[in-house]
Structure 1
Amino acid sequence: MQNILDAILAGDAEGGDFANLDLPESYTAVTVHKDEVDIFEGLETSEKDPRKTLHVDEIPVPELGPGEALVAVMASAINYNTVWTSIFEPVSTFGFLERYGRLSPLAKRHDLPYHVVGSDLAGVVLATGAGVHSWSPGDEVVAHCLSVELEQPDGHNDTMLDPEQRIWGFETNFGGLAHVALVKSNQLMPKPDHLTWEEAASPGLVNSTAYRQLVSRNGAGMKQGDNVLVWGASGGLGGFATQYALNGGATPICVVSNDEKAEICRKMGAELIINRSEENWQFWKDEHTQDPKEWRRLGKRIRELTGGEDVDIVFEHPGRETFGASVFAARKGGTIVTCASTSGYMHQYDNRYLWMNLKRIIGSHFANYRESYEANRLIAKGMIHPTLSKTYGLEDVGQAALDVHRNAHQGKVGVLCLAPEEGLGVRNPEMREQHLEAINRFRGV
């Protein structure tokens, strides 16, 4: 790996140089172990500690198949799916790997007693399999996390509908929290050349998810002038949703939990802020009973901010805690678009407010290749910016995941893999200088 890293750090190595490098037989990776799936049995979710289950191991380099690429990973990032994998909730991901392994002899590679996690990366292509024409050794890339087979017709209008659609590094093996990753070549996209490795790695999953959920015709189809209620507006997903609303001529109403997060939203250009801690929102009277009075209070507060208008779109991801309020708050004919349920999967809402007011609930999951490419293109053009707040080394990935698990983070938490330090990989310093304030907006928060 040292020869590979030296070539990357030199900055002047060409494709042929990388093609001539010997691939290592093994590499360092963050894994969970199949024999530990019961380690947290009997504990509440909040008590489960990713530091106990995320291991840094040396594992064999997987066989390279047709249409695939091996990438030297300079940096990655933590997503909530790594937290889920590490605490074996809502299910163990080894079930995903077992089912994938039954698909074909090549897929059998993924069914192992360890799972290499991580659904983001920025790095350099080391080798490509048969049939790969668009990418070559030496290319600097980022990867989106959609893995598809596309052998059935369902996915050929929208690849997210492929029956064999999976999230790389969560429902497949050989993810990005490692020195080497195995991806399909149609996961690759050009690395934005004004960003460092850790900055370029951080947007992938959440940026693409927010783009489909809010902007794409497969999601809410946001238009100019829309009012958009964004839960967790300075977080990993919400930080991009806020940017897309502002960039697309919409007005975000940003829901945050403290003054520091409210200030981040203002720095992004948002003006309409709901601070949950200041205004003491309690959407549930107890574990089983929601409080419609709080829904109405939220609707009134939104109209105070917007000059009397309700929201056209609700950008949902907290789930159970907020969903009843979200359905109520959307205007007549409005849209609630949801991509996650970090506070619980079993949603409850008053259906009268949905059916009698002709509202729509849209489910949105990650993004197809085109949507991911468009989202990455906006990053590369400096129109949307990373939300990286902190970066850990690979050996401290357990602590990084714990931060996300406990919501003790802001924006995205990055992880250095092969990169020996932060700040490397910038190829366009002039463009970087133009956007430096926006790039660093979340730093240290």
Structure 2
Amino acid sequence: MDTLAEAVLAGASRAELLEEKVPDQYRAVHLRAEDAGMFGDRQDKDVRDSLRVGLVPMPPLAPDEALIAVLASSINYNTIWSAMFEPVSTFSLLRRLGRQGGYAARHDLPTHVIGSDAAGVVVRVGPGVRRWQVGDHVVVNPAYVDDQEPSTHADGMLGVGQRAWGYETNFGGLAHYAVVRASQLLPKPGHLSWEEAASTTLCAGTAYRMLVSGHGARIKQGDIALIWGATGGLGAFAVQLVRNGGGIAVGVVGSSEKARLLKDFGCDLVINRNDLGIGEDQPGAGQIELGKRLGAVIRGELGEDPHVAFDYVGRATFGTSVFVVRRGGMVVTCGSSTGYQHEYDNRYLWMNLKRIVGSHIANLQEQWECNRLVQLGRLVPVLSEAYPLDRVGEAARLVQTNGHVGKIGMLCMAPAPGLGVTDPGLRATIGESRLTHWRRAVSEHLGVGEARQAAHVPS
């Protein structure tokens, strides 16, 4: 480990951090451009085969950027897309960014450092950075925007230059260091450990924009929200946001174990999709029949149809979402982990005045408001496991095969879980059991075996 990293781990002051040399190379999870065609026609594009951990060159810092010593990160589904080189190789995205020239050219490299979450310590800032300084504890908003683009000032997510950091850009968060724009930084909640803090930004911010923001569903008291994949990273934050706003959360999960976990978490109505015959891939007309079964269960329990469907699953569920929401209801969508080609019967959309709203990450204001909820303890992490960086392949494989719940954390510079808490008083007030609910659930409800326990750092 380099001397700057050692100083970070020792809790060095701002002056001491500035005295240390930034290393020429750093350890990072990365992909190689030469591997982009490695999977060919393989049915199972196992991400353990493409993810690499090793040294990469340290890039120069642009004037509006900060260099972060990353203590922890997490796995998101865009990590899986990156490592599968689907739907396109991210190296094509880096080449497109690099063609802008100037500092953008740095991103077009034969290695791509991935990862769209991070918590850590600022160790350098460019001369154009005003609000942040070396030594600050931060988390990173993955929305990478161009502040010189006019539409960015209306909504950062509408800018043509908006990108997902660590997916459409290089130098992401699954590494010992990361390069971010100053407009991505937020204060780290002091009551959370590094790995807990790193598990909140992408998924919680995305769910906030989809459900709470004026750019999404704008849920209100009494609204019924159907949440697919309610024990996943996005879904588990969605359940909290709906209930915090006085809404009624209806969570759909894929096993009895996950159903029990979600009930313990406080979801108002939990539905095991296997009980209704809802599989992984049922597009087309069959989704109407499934919608009738699902709608009957919801009406039987709550007396009404949902106001909102929260759908990041995509192809396997989208037609059912459009069918099952009430007249004038909304389907808010992102991601599409089961496929991007959605089928639905437009009669149920147009004749019942329903709406479909696309959503993507969150702008800085939305992310700031969401982070404030985390800081207040109104949103809690849904971290279920924490792996060391060199086991990233196993961690990502769990997400790829849907063998996880909540968020899978990655320890980057942090030598052990549980570090980084600077406000133990607030942590005690919120309650250790509430903050670690999902980690306990993995062993208690999901029966993690000895082999899997051995594969990660105990939390």
TM exceeds 0.5?
yes
Confirm whether residue 392 of structure 1 aligns to residue 387 of structure 2: yes
Query: Which residue of 2 is the match for residue 33 of structure 1?
Result: 32
Alignment partner for residue 423 of structure 1, among 418, 425, 430? 418
CA-to-aligned-CA distance 1:255-301 (integer Å, 9 cap, x gap): 111122122222222231111123333597x7765252222111111
- Contact persistence 2:137–2:187 (CA under 8 A): yes
* 1:115-154 aligned within 5 A: 115-154=112-151
Query: Which residue of 2 is the match for residue 170 of structure 1?
Result: 167
Confirm whether residue 324 of structure 1 aligns to residue 319 of structure 2: yes
Query: Which residue of 1 is the match for residue 5 of structure 2?
Result: 5
Query: Which residue of 2 is the match for residue 376 of structure 1?
Result: 371
- Contact persistence 1:264–1:441 (CA under 8 A): no
Q: What SS does structure 2 have at the residue aligned with 1:415?
A: strand
Query: Which residue of 2 is the match for residue 342 of structure 1?
Result: 337
- Contact persistence 1:150–1:164 (CA under 8 A): no
Query: Which residue of 2 is the match for residue 302 of structure 1?
Result: 298
CA-to-aligned-CA distance 1:23-60 (integer Å, 9 cap, x gap): 1111101110000111000112xx11111111112112
CA-to-aligned-CA distance 1:410-444 (integer Å, 9 cap, x gap): 10000010011111111111211233112111105
Q: How much is the aligned-residue C-alpha RMSD, in angstroms?
A: 1.4
- CA 1:373/1:138 → structure 2, altered by over 3 Å: closer, same or farther? same
Give me the whole-angstrom Cα distance separating, in 2, the residues matched to 1:209 and 1:221.
13
Moved more, 85-94 or 52-61: 52-61
Query: Which residue of 1 is the match for residue 455 of structure 2?
Result: none
Confirm whether residue 207 of structure 1 aligns to residue 182 of structure 2: no
Query: Which residue of 2 is the match for residue 91 of structure 1?
Result: 88
Query: Which residue of 2 is the match for residue 440 of structure 1?
Result: 436
Instruction: Output the amino acid matched with 2:329.
Output: G
Confirm whether residue 257 of structure 1 aligns to residue 258 of structure 2: no
Query: Which residue of 1 is the match for residue 186 of structure 2?
Result: 189
- Contact persistence 1:40–1:48 (CA under 8 A): yes
- Contact persistence 1:19–1:138 (CA under 8 A): no
Query: Which residue of 2 is the match for residue 410 of structure 1?
Result: 405
- Contact persistence 1:125–1:138 (CA under 8 A): yes
- Contact persistence 2:2–2:23 (CA under 8 A): no
Alignment partner for residue 367 of structure 1, among 350, 358, 362? 362
- Contact persistence 2:287–2:317 (CA under 8 A): no
Q: What SS does structure 2 have at the residue aligned with 1:211?
A: helix
Q: Which runs of 5+ in 2 are unaligned?
A: 443-459
Give me the whole-angstrom Cα distance separating, in 2, the residues matched to 1:325 and 1:61.
47
1:20 shift after superposition: 2.0
Q: What SS does structure 1 have at the residue aligned with 2:238?
A: helix
Give me the whole-angstrom Cα distance separating, in 1, the residues matched to 2:239 and 2:288.
27
- Contact persistence 1:223–1:250 (CA under 8 A): yes
Confirm whether residue 102 of structure 1 aligns to residue 99 of structure 2: yes
Stretches (4+) displaced over 4 A: 286-289
Instruction: Output the amino acid matched with 1:80.
Output: Y
Number of residue pairs aligned between Structure 1 and Structure 2: 440
Instruction: Output the amino acid matched with 2:37.
Output: D
- Contact persistence 2:283–2:316 (CA under 8 A): no
* 1:222-241 aligned within 5 A: 222-241=219-238
Give me the whole-angstrom Cα distance separating, in 1, the residues matched to 2:272 and 2:400.
21
- Contact persistence 1:255–1:275 (CA under 8 A): yes
Query: Which residue of 1 is the match for residue 348 of structure 2?
Result: 353
Q: What SS does structure 1 have at the residue aligned with 2:71?
A: strand
- Contact persistence 2:284–2:319 (CA under 8 A): no
- CA 1:283/1:23 → structure 2, altered by over 3 Å: closer, same or farther? closer
Give me the whole-angstrom Cα distance separating, in 1, the residues matched to 2:415 and 2:2.
11
CA-to-aligned-CA distance 1:185-228 (integer Å, 9 cap, x gap): 11111111111111110111111100001110001111111000
- Contact persistence 2:225–2:308 (CA under 8 A): yes
Q: What SS does structure 2 have at the residue aligned with 1:238?
A: helix
Q: What SS does structure 2 have at the residue aligned with 1:426?
A: coil
TM-score calculated relative to the size of structure 1? 0.96
Alignment partner for residue 156 of structure 1, among 132, 135, 153? 153
Instruction: Output the amino acid matched with 2:363.
Output: N
Give me the whole-angstrom Cα distance separating, in 2, the residues matched to 1:175 and 1:318.
25
Q: Which runs of 5+ in 1 are unaligned?
A: none
CA-to-aligned-CA distance 1:379-436 (integer Å, 9 cap, x gap): 1110001110011111110111111000011100000100111111111112112331
Query: Which residue of 2 is the match for residue 217 of structure 1?
Result: 214
Give me the whole-angstrom Cα distance separating, in 2, the residues matched to 1:417 and 1:70.
15
Identity %: 49
TM-score calculated relative to the size of structure 2? 0.93
Give me the whole-angstrom Cα distance separating, in 2, the residues matched to 1:146 and 1:221.
21
Q: What SS does structure 2 have at the residue aligned with 1:442?
A: helix
- Contact persistence 1:258–1:275 (CA under 8 A): yes
Confirm whether residue 179 of structure 1 aligns to residue 183 of structure 2: no
Q: What SS does structure 2 have at the residue aligned with 1:40?
A: coil
Moved more, 90-99 or 267-276: 267-276
Give me the whole-angstrom Cα distance separating, in 2, the residues matched to 1:60 and 1:5.
16
